[in-house]
Structure formats: C-alpha cells, structure tokens
Amino acid sequence: MIGVEKINLSSLKVVQNELVATIEQSAMHLEQFSSERNNAELLQSCIDGIKQISGTLSLLQLKGIDLLAQELVQHITDIPLGEESNTDRKLERLTSAFFILPRYLEYCLQTSRSMPMLLIPYINELRQFRNAPPLPESHFYELEVPKMASPTAHNGTKLGEELTSLVRRLRHMYQVGLLRVLQDKGTVPALSMMARAMERLETASAGYAMGELWTVCHALLETAAEKRLHVNMSRKRLFSALDREIKKLQTEGQGALTKTPDRELIKELLYLVALSHSEHPRATAVMKRYQLQPLPFNDAELQQELEFLKGPSAKTIESMSAVLKDELRSTKNILERAAQGGTELLGESPELLDTLNKIAEILAVVGLVSASDSLRQEIKKIAGWQKNSDDVDAEDLLAVADTLLYIESSVSGLGKTTLSDERLAQINATSRHDVIANSQLAEAEQLVLEEAESGLALIKRALSSFAESNYDVGHIKNVATTLNSVRGGMTLLTLPRAAALVASCVRFVEKALLQNEQPAAVQHMLETFADAIISLEHYLDMIKYERGADDSVLQVAEESLEALGYPVQTS
C-alpha cells in the first residue's frame, strides 16, 4: 500500500526491549545534562545512545523513524556545553523526540504496520533548528510526477484585460483568502475564495505549460473546502508557496506562462488530492490524468492516527485502568456496607464524593462519556443521601453499586484495547470540531444575513443560466431587483461599504448585461462580475463568525467592478 508498509514484527519484537531501554537511558542522561550543562560525560553518553538507536533502526529499515533518529544525532551533536540562549529549546525538542520514539515502535507493533508520514512533524521540528528545509508531507509518497506535454499552440482564450492587471487582481483575491486561512478564521469559505482565484488563473493560462499547476491547485483547493481538510502548518506553507508562484506570473508576465512548473510542488498538491478521497469531478479528473492510486487512508484518518501517537501509551492506559478499578472497588465496598449496616455509614466516608467526581472526570477525558454521565447521576443521589441522613432503601444502594459495576466493566476494556481499535480513538483523540460562533448577532440580523446569502446564491444561478442560454436576458431580468434587496439588507445591518458595492453591481447589471449585445465581451464581463459576487459572499460569511469583521475583503470586489468600468461610489 502507498504510505502504509507492513513490517517484520518478529525482528522488531527481538530488538524492541533493548531499543526502549537504550532510549530510556539516553533520555535519563539528557535530563541529567539539562541540570549539569558542563558535564561532557553525560552529553557524550546521550550522543552514544542515540547513535546506537539510529544504527539499530537503520537495520530494521523502518522508514521515517530511522530518519527521525538521524535527525536526533545531528541535533544533539550541535548542543554545546554550558549555557546558551537556545539550548533550552533544543533540549525540549530532544525530549519530545525521545517521547515519540518508543510510542511509534509500540504503534508499529500494535497495528502491524508503519506509517512514516506520522513522523514528519517531529522530523521537521528538528530540521527547523539547523535551518534545513522542512520535509513535505508527500516525502514518503511514492509518485514520479510525469512531465505533461506542452500544447503546440495556445488556445487563444480571451482574457478581456491585460494579463498583469488580471493576475494582480486575482492574486489579491487569493491573498484575502490565504490571510484568513493563516489566521484559522472561516477556513472553508476562505479556501473557496482561493479556489476561485485559481479557477480564473487556470482559464487565463489555458494552453500554456504553467496552466498545469493552476489546474491541480484548483482541484486541491476546491477539494480542501469540500472535504474540510485539516489545515496544518505544512499546508499553510504550501498555500503560501502558491502565492509566490502567482507573484512570479504577476512580475514576469507572459513569459512565466511557458515555464515548466515545479515537479515537487505538483507532487505535494497531488498527494493532498489523493488524501482527500474526494469524488468531486475536478479531483477525479486530476486523479485520472496523473494515474494516481487511492491512498489507504483519508485525511481525517491520518489526523486521528497523529492524535493516537500523541496520546497515552498502552502501558499508561493499563496503569490508569488499574487505578480506576481500585477506586471503584473501594467505593462499592462502602456502598455495600451502607446497604447492610445503614446509610449513616455514608457520612463516615466524606471522601466518597470527591473520589467519584474524580473518576467521572477521568472517564469523560478518555472518551467514556456515557459511563461518566451515568456516574454523575449516581453522585447526585449519594450527595442527597449524605445531606439528608434519611434511611435509604437497600435496593437503591445496590442500584448504585450496579452502575459502578457497569463502569468497572467499561474501564476493564481499556487495558485490552489496541491503538487501532475504535475505542482507543475515543480515548486518545481530542474532539476539535469547529464551533461556529453565533456571536452577538440578534435574531433579526441573522435573518437579514440569511436572506442576503440566499439572494446572492439566486443571482449566481441566474448568471450561470444566462451564460448557458447564449446570453438570453430573460434569465437575468430579476437580478437587479434581487441585488437591491441585498443592498437593503446591507443598509439595515449598517454595512455602508457593502451597500455601496451592491449599488455598483446593480448599475452594472442594468447598464451592461441587460443592454450588451456582444457575447464575446459579455463572457469576460460575467467572469469578472462573478469575482465580485463571490467576494461579497465571502464577506457575508465572515461577519457570521465575527460581526465586526474587517471589510477590507470587499476591496477584491471593488477592484473587479472597477475593472468592469463601474467603480464603487462612496458617500
């Protein structure tokens, strides 16, 4: 399988204990050295241990972890004796790597597979310190990107405006979305906006060698928005690299279109398209064109595996399970004695509620939410009994004991679970679902926003039908009216810049689209006008997240209208 490798379990089992012992000993020497910065013997012992680990892992031919060990060797040999400003940070990186080495070995044994891409974030942390370029996510992705044959002639696509001017405007559109992505604000609509910029670049570059890059970029960004791909630091760097490619086109002009795009950059884009498992026609076409094989995991599963690796080890879970079971048995004994000797015995155990609350919190943390909720209900009952000191039916006490028995059974299962099981996913993975803040928008404002968004969606459909019908104006006769409704909404929401922009859109529709009889000119105008509508749509999505969102995003729409000859008139 691509990206997942079977491993020689017998060889790994033979050396695992020795490996882990060497790792633990080296980690101990490192910890001692952090307190005795001038102790050359401790530092050398740690270096020798890491070299031994690296040599053993190289013999095992475990991709990824051998590279991590090599980076460790380089990293630790750069640590000087004595106190230096960045030594603490270097030691922190080493400590993190010492944690992940045995965890990954345990992961390989429990899952009977190796996924080297899981180690790339840890490898890059070490590479960063020696100013080495970070490994791309596709480093372990076995793909030789073919060089696509350049067309013999350009297809003659009409740009409708000078190339440099068009690219400058489209780069601004891309950057507006990119900034939101870098800030982790409204990532999905921001990716959609970036995809729109790539779509326009793809059209402008059709027939040229550089068009290949924009085609793959367009597919990825569309897929990223659709599939909600996790945007990590590596992907932010990739999106920033694409901005630099657009800048080259902006500064070099027509000559840049004929250059062959970077194969490694395209490989990284293709890896993410394959990782998305998208069935979108554009992504499917790219997969087919490059003859990509589907990956055996998708992005969500990859992120989950990364969480597994950061989570507690199986030994930690077993230890926690044992402690919880001891606490539960102690609690059951107290309840059983109270059932036999009277509920006043509950008052003789003031620590009971604290213990149960602690257990409930731990259960919630490890993902046993149902068991935690059940226990909290029983805690309320016990608190009431302690407070009132009334006689309690023995059956009620036994019912609580039964609940504890159920919880004990759930906890027992933890120690028997491996990292590949669904239960352990609940233990290790922290839920990080995006929470869309309704913030402080009043209900009336939300309704106005929804109406405006519906209006823009209706306008986009009308424009699409207009183009597909060879510019039958019957499809757009109500667009100006809808736009005026949107403008009214912007005024109600006290968004004057947006309202002025929509007013310019109305003028364009009434004076250009409804009266223009030149299809060739209309085609370009529609594309540029669609840029303005999409930018406005992105702005509305932003203020759903944050009522006081920066309206500078509207500059993209204003530039589009200015390119059409209908500049926004501000009061």
Element (H, E) at 6: strand 5-6
Q: How far is CA 422 from CA 89, 417, 432, in A?
A: 36, 9, 17
Residue 18 pLDDT > 50: yes
Could you read off the pLDDT of 126-177 as tens digits, one per residue? 888 888 899 999 988 888 777 664 544 444 445 555 888 899 999 999 999 9
User: Under the phi-then-psi rule, with left for phi > 0, alpha for psi from -120 to 50, and beta for the rest, what region is 161?
Assistant: beta
- Worst-scoring range by mean pLDDT, 81-90, 234-243, 459-468, 499-508? 81-90
User: Tokens at residue 567, please?
Assistant: 């500049």
Residue 33 pLDDT > 60: yes
Q: State how far the Cα of 273 lies from the Cα of 267, in Å rounded to an integer.
A: 10
Nearest to 556 by CA among 525, 523, 534, 527: 534
Mean pLDDT of the chain: 79
Q: Which CATH number is associated with domain 312-420? A: 1.20.120
Amino acid identity at 319: S
Give 511's DSSP letter.
Answer: I
Q: How far is CA 481 from CA 341, 463, 478, 487, 557, in A?
A: 81, 14, 5, 10, 19
Element (H, E) at 113: strand 113-114
Three-state SS for 464? helix
Q: Which CATH number is associated with domain 443-563? A: 1.20.120
Please state the domain extents for the chain. 5-135, 163-304, 312-420, 443-563
Residue 218 pLDDT > 90: yes
Q: Which CATH number is associated with domain 5-135? A: 1.20.120.160
Label residue 432 by pLDDT band (50, 70, 90). Answer: very low
DSSP 344-407: GGGGG-THHHHHHHHHHHHHHHTT-HHHHHHHHHHHHHHHHHHHH-----HHHHHHHHHHHHHH
Q: How far is CA 201 from CA 198, 288, 442, in A?
A: 5, 22, 39
Q: Is 161 exposed, middle or buried (0-12, 13-18, 19+ CB in 10 A)?
A: middle
Q: State how far the Cα of 105 lies from the Cα of 11, in Å rounded to an integer.
A: 12
Helix extents (H) in 415-553: 422-428, 443-468, 479-492, 496-508, 519-545
Q: State how far the Cα of 513 lies from the Cα of 157, in Å rounded to an integer.
A: 21
Could you read off the pLDDT of 83-97 as tens digits, one per residue? 777 777 778 878 878
Residue 246 pLDDT > 90: yes
Q: State how far the Cα of 243 lies from the Cα of 264, in Å rounded to an integer.
A: 16
What are the percentages of helix, strand and coil residues in the chain, rounded to 5? 75, 0, 25
* Residues forming beta bridges with residue 6, ordered by sequence position: 113
5-135 against 443-563: fold identical: yes
User: Tokens at residue 240, please?
Assistant: 């920033």
